[in-house]
Amino acid sequence: MMRILKAFWHAAEIEEDGGGYIDERHAVFVVDKPLGKK
């Protein structure tokens, strides 16, 4: 579990009031299916 905790502390931004958050990015793919493809 230590590795997870390390990763967590590394990823989390700790705020002045003791709160914290992790910056996320979600990839949104829009994929066109060609007209000729079944």
- Rounded Cα distance between 35 and 17, Å, is 55
> In angstroms, what is the minimal distance from the CB of 3 to other proteins?
5
> In angstroms, what is the minimal distance from the CB of 12 to other proteins?
6
| Binding-residue total with other proteins (CB under 8 A) | 36
The helix (run of H) or strand (run of E) holding residue 12 is strand 12-14
Considering only residues 8 to 37 of the shown chain, the ones binding other proteins according to CB under 8 A are 8-9, 11-12, 14-37
- Rounded Cα distance between 19 and 6, Å, is 17
Residues binding other proteins (CB under 8 A): 1-9, 11-12, 14-38
